Amino acid sequence: MPVHNADITVIFEEIADLLEIGGANPFRIRAYRNAARILGDLPQEARLLVERGEDLTRLPGIGSDLAAKINEIVTTGHCSLLDRLRKELPPTITELLKIPDLGPKRVKTLWHDLDVQTVEQLHRAAQDGRIRALHGFGAKTEQNILQAVQAHASQSRRFKLATAAQYAETLRAFLQAIPGVQQVVVAGSFRRMRETVGDLDILVTAAPHSPVMQRFTAYDEVAEVFSAGETRASVLLKCGMQVDLRVVAQESYRAALHYFTGSKSHNIAIRRIAQQLGLKVNEYGVFRGAQRIAGDSEESVYRAVGLPYIAPELREDRGEIEAARANRLPRLVELSDLKGDLHAHTRATDGHDTLLDMALAAKALGMEYLAITEHSRRLTVAHGLDPVKLAKQCDEIDSLNAELKGFTLLKGIEVDILEDGSLDLPDSVLARLDLVVGAVHSKFDLSRARQTERILRAIDHPHFTMLAHPSGRLIEQREPYDVDMLRIIRHAKQRGCYLELNAHPERLDLLDSQCQSAREEGVLVSINSDAHSTFDFANLKYGVGQARRGWLEKSDVLNTRSLTALRTLLKRTM
């Protein structure tokens, strides 16, 4: 069975959790958590590195012991250390860690003091009022746990887009190699580039008697087959993701692609328009009575109801149909439009590669420039730079630029926005930089008014250029902080500053709706990788997908400009 980075990440996270519950050395626990994070962020499959015999210790943060465990997981599908830890601790205990506010220390207390080992036992303990008596809990915590357990039970599992891509691309390649298979496409929310994906909808065209259905249901990663017929099947993968496969006739392929891409609300709106015209739209095409009048292409489906083609990322029934009617659909930005990246880190702080490594990797991808924006001194966990170290790096960048040909490194900083809205470094050092990227890394729980004023004051700083990951959210980990984003967008417009769309798959921040607001207000957005290694530039495609969902055109994106044009825009903020 193919082993994905997401699978290795799950194993390392569980090892770290079990070690912490068992009271292991904190440094050992941290090593596994760091490895899980690194592999989770790695766009390249570790499995492929193992298959090519590459040295895994060249991956950032991966030593010989972790490399050996990755190799073991890839080659055997399991980890002997995890097997041993599961025998030492209750096998269901890590499920408790999925409940908000229950970290390993609290789980350990619940286990030792109340013998709570499952979510169901936790629910009963909270209902019975037994948790409040534990040291460090109390009645309020008990009530919060009860509410969190109930919310957890009602949630369906979703996967981050980049995680879903690991399973989708491997499965797509598997299906494409089956004899008789002609076309394979992943539709649904995955094709619409939603930030999270609940399941995968796959369409296939195949020659008669192709064994595609038998091979699909026998796929190594399938844990359960829900249904299987001649033209459709539904399975559950071992990772917990449902996959629905439909084999469609060649003549219906494009109509089915439109239908199964969705979204549901968009499709309903299209069908209503069709009904008003005396037409019927379904997965087989567009019909007037029994006559099929369109469906050979997605364009023909839209044309039949009087609309131009609407890109998948826009199909959410959020004004795209009205814009199509008025011939106002945006010409969406493409990955190839990006000329550079304005947020990246090196070994100088918490990155994993050198200045030269990052420059050469960006240049190899066709970029013209890359901004190096290390963390500032307040972020001690990332070894942030003080004024002396930042000045030294500026000198290094100047020296390297003198040697690089056809590529330029820009001098920047990801400076902490402090609670009072001031910046973490003095004007004397900020004035030397090409750009200053401000970021909130602390005090996420400020009131809406205080958080908004904090960011507005930072934007007013004379050297401020861009607001990094503006909402502060981490998908399914941390909610956005409470802030008046429209007010911030309008203030950025007034000040002449820019907003970042952070392409890291755990952030994708700005939100798509906020991208649309920035566009409407005339504020340029920069699609940045926030790269901490040369591998991370591959995440830019997810940022572009989010930008397209937010209706952004090439002209709406700051880093589609040439270096000369970019420098002009950056100088306006400094």
β partners of residue 411 = 372
> Beta strand 242-247 with 199-206: parallel, antiparallel or unpaired?
parallel
Q: Find the CATH number of the domain harbouring 509.
A: 3.20.20.140
Look at 92-96, 289-293, 301-305, 384-388 and tell me which has the smallest mean pLDDT.
Answer: 92-96
pLDDT (tens digit per residue) in 9-62? 989 988 998 898 888 898 899 899 989 988 888 888 899 999 999 899 888 889
Report residue 542 as tokens.
């997810």
In a domain, 131, yes or no: yes
Both 377 and 436 in a single domain?
yes
Both 52 and 103 in a single domain?
yes
Burial of 346 (0-12, 13-18, 19+ CB in 10 A): buried
pLDDT band for position 155 (50/70/90)? Answer: low
Both 504 and 563 in a single domain?
yes
In a domain, 256, yes or no: no
pLDDT band for position 246 (50/70/90)? Answer: very high
Both 46 and 194 in a single domain?
no
Both 392 and 281 in a single domain?
no
**Distance of alpha carbon 34 from alpha carbon 507, whole angstroms:** 18
In a domain, 233, yes or no: yes
Work out the average pLDDT over 123-141: 88
CA distances from 410 to 132, 435, 533 (A): 54, 8, 17
In a domain, 62, yes or no: yes
Q: Find the CATH number of the domain harbouring 321.
A: 3.30.210.10
| Last residue in a domain, options 201, 223, 247 | 247
pLDDT at 154: 61
Q: Is 196 helix (H, G, I), strand (E, B) or coil?
A: strand
Question: pLDDT at residue 371 above 80?
Answer: yes
Work out the mean pLDDT of the chain and round it to a whole number.
Answer: 93
Both 77 and 46 in a single domain?
yes
pLDDT (tens digit per residue) in 186-239? 999 999 999 999 999 999 999 999 999 999 999 999 999 999 999 999 999 999
β partners of residue 498 = 466
In a domain, 354, yes or no: yes
Both 145 and 187 in a single domain?
no
Specify the number of domains making up the chain. 4
Both 65 and 115 in a single domain?
yes
In a domain, 505, yes or no: yes
β partners of residue 287 = 280, 292
**Distance of alpha carbon 102 from alpha carbon 141, whole angstroms:** 10
Report residue 506 as tokens.
């755990």
CA distances from 458 to 36, 336, 465, 499, 570 (A): 34, 32, 10, 13, 17
pLDDT at 73: 93
pLDDT (tens digit per residue) in 425-480? 999 999 999 999 999 999 999 999 999 999 999 999 999 999 999 999 999 888 89
pLDDT at 486: 93
**Structural domain for 219, as ranges:** 159-247
| Last residue in a domain, options 247, 271, 298 | 247
The 285-288 sheet, strands edge to edge:
280-282, 285-288, 291-294
Work out the average pLDDT over 261-273: 94
Q: Distance between alpha carbon 56 and the CA centroid of its chain, in Å?
A: 24
Nearest to 239 by CA among 223, 227, 226, 250: 223
pLDDT at 392: 96
Q: Find the CATH number of the domain harbouring 222.
A: 3.30.460.10
Both 24 and 110 in a single domain?
yes
Both 355 and 384 in a single domain?
yes
pLDDT (tens digit per residue) in 497-538? 999 999 999 999 999 999 999 999 999 999 999 999 999 999
Question: pLDDT at residue 156 above 80?
Answer: no
Q: Side chain identity at 57, as an amino acid letter?
A: T
Question: pLDDT at residue 574 above 80?
Answer: no
Both 287 and 370 in a single domain?
no
Nearest to 193 by CA among 544, 469, 450: 544
**Distance of alpha carbon 78 from alpha carbon 14, whole angstroms:** 12
| Last residue in a domain, options 130, 154, 178 | 154
pLDDT band for position 96 (50/70/90)? Answer: confident
pLDDT at 141: 87
Task: Give yes or no for a contact between 193 and 313, defined as CB atoms under 8 angstroms apart.
Answer: yes
